[in-house]
Amino acid sequence: MQAILVTNDDGISSPGIKALARVLKQLGDVYTVAPEGEQSAVAHSLTLHKPIRSTHAAEKAYFINGTPTDCVILAVNKLLPVRPDIIVSGVNSGANLGDDITYSGTVAAAIEGTLLGIPSIAVSLVRENNSNGNRSSTSGFLTAARYARDIAARVLEKGLPGNTLLNVNVPHVRRIKGIRITKQGRRVYDNLVQERHDPRGREYYWIGGTVPVWESPEDSDFAAVREGYVSVTPVHLDLTNYQALRYLEETWGMTHKSQK
Ligand code: MN
């Protein structure tokens, strides 16, 4: 029996994680360790200066007062009776496309899993306005969870290249056309910060909240979901820009030691 760790950044009570845990039971033993409440956009933050407590919520399910990264570290090192064969983070309520993955707690959990040497997948449901609006998404989360299950099964069978996680985005449409392997797209910052005035006339700022505009080459994550495909982007954790090694060598007149 394979051991599967499920986590997220929307909190243990979110519909996305419930759908994911339920569907992944078809693949193995599912353990859920998730934040107590909403931790979206916390990125890869780690709790170092206050106590973290875990609460046993149900069989094989815990919530903690920490971040998604805390969840993975605690789950793997303390809470689970076995080392997970795979970590699946999500299903996030809202897209994690392009540059936005650098803010994402959902993706950060998969980053932490990858750093611990465990194959990891982040899964997000792309909702129309990317908010937690009123429209019910139960069927969307379930569909996304089923794609997560199929992709997790492939990863369990074939593995993943080193230092690499999969970032999966599932469009919330009636008929999904299939799966596309994609590259990370790029957001164009358009009206990113909104300026408003409070009732006393003082200005305040609100980051985001507008519909983002994307540069979307055909093979990008954004183009895939826009066209009704599930996007699967392999994300590499080595952030070194290898071409820039050469650029720095040439422009700074220094050499990069390629071998020890
Ligand atoms: Mn979230």
Max CA separation in the chain (angstroms): 63
CATH number, domain 2-186+216-252, options 3.40.1210.10, 3.40.50.970, 3.40.630.10, 3.40.50.2300: 3.40.1210.10
Residues with a beta carbon under 5 angstroms from ion ligand 1: 9-10, 40, 92
Give the distance (Å) from ligand 1 centre to CA of residue 93: 6
Rg of the chain over all Cα atoms, to the nearest angstrom: 19
Span from the CA of 59 to the centroid of ligand 1 (angstroms): 24
Confidence grade of residue 129 (pLDDT, cut at 50, 70, 90): low
Cα of 72 vs centre of ligand 1, distance in Å, is 16
Question: Is the entire prediction scored with pTM above 0.85?
Answer: yes
Distance between Cα 63 and ligand 1 center (Å)? 15
Question: Is 27's pLDDT higher than 70?
Answer: yes
Q: How far is the CA of 171 from the centre of ligand 1 (A)?
A: 16
Span 149-169, mean pLDDT? 97
pLDDT score, position 243 = 92
% of the chain residues with pLDDT over 70: 96
